[in-house]
């Protein structure tokens, strides 16, 4: 009798055989959403020069201590047009936001707190005692010092990060290559969308589901043509997938005793596939192996054929694999056997489950209203949790997790959820 293993044990076994992919250099316009593959250090002090953060007057702080008279106005400093005159004792200069601080000055006073005698070209402060040394001045290196590492490898670059790189004068950046994922479908019973299925045929929806999920989570998907029930055709399909991919996915026909044609082929390609029974519902069967393990290892992962089981299996096993391959899986790589991140929620409706397996309920997560201070989000399980239900996960925003040993939960009970 085959031993059942936990979700975490299966995930740990898979991730232990994976390593992050190499880097590639891309233009900044293509960098958003990619995983950084190099440390980014500030090329220079930022700001490069001391400048004003307000419109006002630049002066010497020591000149407004004690008895303060009017200050002589000597020139002005504007963004892009700095003052050529230094501010000496008893003097001040007009300054705009972003303008370099004139030599000799160390403090800025806002326009609103000053009075100007234009005829005499004199400046009087309304409340000199309230002025603080270096106020409204952004100092050299205040944001970043030259050589300071600002972005570490493994960061997923957002819009602000791309803007920062542009500000550093970087036209290109090194990022981890996107995982190339080949999706293999076999069987005379499958047809592609657009082809009317025969009496005993079904549309190959899982291939397109998996391809969309791969793209959504940072990979590049390739759907291979359906291989008919022919040994040569199946071998050619898997050979082509392995040759051009970092990860190969298949769905259906992965239970022990199934797919008489496919099993000896994938066994040969991988040196022996592992066929596991996972303590999970939906999605008990899972197959895993590594082709070309000694040269260019390519993992093969066989997911269940039922759509919802395939969907759950992707999130539990393929998504962490994509994270690790793309360099976004530091936490996963550090502890591959750890549960995925979850949060507590309140169950909206009662559920009955299978206590011998961990159950993943597809459903909708709603945040509490603005008046519900401290309340947990509410999880609404989708009705009819059948693993073959095509509609089940269409509007799902989370999985509700019912652990092994629990046969039912009541409305209002706490339930762990994984956000999708």
pLDDT of residue 386: 72
Grade residue 372 by pLDDT with cuts at 50, 70 and 90. low
pLDDT of residue 330: 62
**Extents of the domains making up the chain:** 7-21+178-334, 26-46+143-176, 51-138, 342-419
Grade residue 3 by pLDDT with cuts at 50, 70 and 90. confident
pLDDT of residue 336: 64
CATH number of 51-138: 2.170.190.11
For 120, list phi and psi in degrees, rounded to 5.
-90, -5
Q: pLDDT per residue over 158-183, tens digit each?
A: 999 999 999 999 999 999 999 999 99
> Which residues in 325-357 are b (16+ Cβ under 10 Å) and which e?
bbbbbeebbeebeeebeeeebbbbeebebeeeb
The CATH architecture one would assign to domain 7-21+178-334 is 3-Layer(aba) Sandwich (3.40)
57 burial via Cβ count (<10 Å: 0-12, 13-18, 19+)? buried
Kind plus residue range of the DSSP H or E element containing 258: none
Of the listed ranges 141-150, 212-221, 288-297, 312-321, the one predicted with least confidence: 288-297
pLDDT of residue 373: 63
Average pLDDT over residues 182-194: 91
Token pair in block for residue 228:
């008919």
pLDDT of residue 53: 95
Kind plus residue range of the DSSP H or E element containing 115: strand 114-117
Of the listed ranges 79-83, 119-123, 268-272, the one predicted with least confidence: 268-272
How much is the pTM? 0.81
Average pLDDT over residues 255-273: 74
Average pLDDT over residues 366-387: 80
Token pair in block for residue 192:
């592609």
Q: Which residues pair with 286 in a beta bridge?
A: 276
pLDDT of residue 388: 62
Q: How far is CA 237 from CA 50, 185, 186, 221, 255, in A?
A: 63, 8, 9, 15, 20
Average pLDDT over residues 236-254: 87
Average pLDDT over residues 339-361: 90
Q: pLDDT per residue over 326-343, tens digit each?
A: 988 665 656 666 678 889
Grade residue 273 by pLDDT with cuts at 50, 70 and 90. confident
Average pLDDT over residues 63-68: 83
What superfamily in CATH does domain 26-46+143-176 come from? Molybdopterin biosynthesis moea protein, domain 2 (3.90.105.10)
360 burial via Cβ count (<10 Å: 0-12, 13-18, 19+)? buried
Distance, CA of 264 to CA of 269 (rounded, Å): 9
Q: What 3-state class would DSSP assign to 236?
A: helix
pLDDT above 90 for 265: no
pLDDT of residue 360: 93
pLDDT above 80 for 1: no
Residue from 233, 208, 211, 209 nearest 220 by CA: 211
Residue from 357, 412, 418, 356 nearest 393 by CA: 418
pLDDT above 60 for 26: yes
pLDDT above 60 for 88: yes
pLDDT of residue 333: 59
**Mean pLDDT of all residues belonging to the chain:** 89
Token pair in block for residue 406:
């629990």
Grade residue 254 by pLDDT with cuts at 50, 70 and 90. low
pLDDT of residue 208: 95
The CATH architecture one would assign to domain 342-419 is Beta Barrel (2.40)
Of the listed ranges 25-34, 51-60, 301-310, the one predicted with least confidence: 301-310
Grade residue 28 by pLDDT with cuts at 50, 70 and 90. very high
pLDDT above 60 for 22: yes
Terminus-to-terminus CA distance in the chain, angstroms? 35
The top-scoring range by mean pLDDT among 171-180, 185-194, 291-300 is: 171-180
């Amino acid at each position: 009798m085959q031993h059942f293993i936990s979700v975490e044990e299966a995930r740990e076994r898979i991730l232990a055989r994976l390593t992050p992919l190499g880097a590639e250099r891309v233009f900044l316009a293509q960098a958003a959403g990619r995983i950084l593959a190099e440390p980014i250090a500030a090329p220079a002090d930022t700001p490069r020069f001391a400048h004003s953060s307000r419109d006002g007057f630049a002066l010497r702080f020591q000149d407004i201590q004690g008895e303060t008279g009017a200050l002589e106005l000597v020139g002005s400093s504007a963004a892009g047009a700095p003052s050529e005159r230094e501010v000496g004792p008893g003097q001040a200069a007009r300054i705009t936001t972003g303008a370099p601080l004139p030599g000799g000055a160390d403090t800025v006073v806002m326009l609103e707190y000053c009075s100007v005698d234009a005829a005499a070209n004199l400046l009087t402060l309304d409340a000199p005692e309230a002025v603080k040394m270096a106020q409204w001045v952004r100092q050299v290196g205040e944001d970043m010092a030259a050589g300071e590492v600002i972005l570490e490898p493994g960061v997923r670059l957002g819009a602000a990060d791309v803007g920062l790189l542009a500000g550093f004068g970087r036209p290109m950046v090194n990022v981890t290559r996107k995982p190339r994922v080949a999706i293999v479908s076999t069987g005379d019973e499958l047809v592609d969308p657009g082809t009317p299925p025969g009496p005993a045929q079904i549309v190959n929806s899982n291939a397109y589901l998996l391809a969309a999920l791969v793209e959504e989570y940072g990979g590049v998907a390739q759907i291979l043509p359906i291989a008919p029930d022919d040994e040569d055709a199946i071998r050619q399909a898997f050979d082509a997938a392995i040759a051009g991919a970092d990860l190969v996915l298949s769905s259906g026909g992965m239970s022990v005793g199934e797919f008489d044609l496919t099993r000896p082929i994938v066994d040969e390609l991988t040196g022996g596939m592992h066929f596991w029974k996972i303590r999970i519902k939906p999605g008990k069967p899972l197959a895993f192996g590594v082709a070309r393990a000694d040269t260019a290892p390519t993992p093969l992962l066989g997911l269940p054929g039922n759509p919802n089981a395939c969907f759950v299996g992707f999130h539990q096993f393929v998504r962490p694999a994509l994270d690790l391959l793309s360099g976004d899986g530091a936490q996963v790589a550090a502890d591959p056997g750890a549960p995925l991140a979850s949060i507590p929620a309140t169950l909206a409706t009662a559920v009955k489950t299978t206590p011998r397996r961990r159950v993943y309920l597809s459903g909708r997560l709603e945040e509490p209203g603005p008046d519900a201070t401290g309340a947990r989000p509410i999880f609404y399980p989708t009705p009819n949790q059948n693993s073959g239900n095509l509609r089940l996960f269409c509007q799902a925003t989370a999985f509700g997790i019912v652990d092994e040993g629990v046969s039912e939960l009541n409305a209002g009970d706490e339930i762990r959820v994984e956000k999708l």
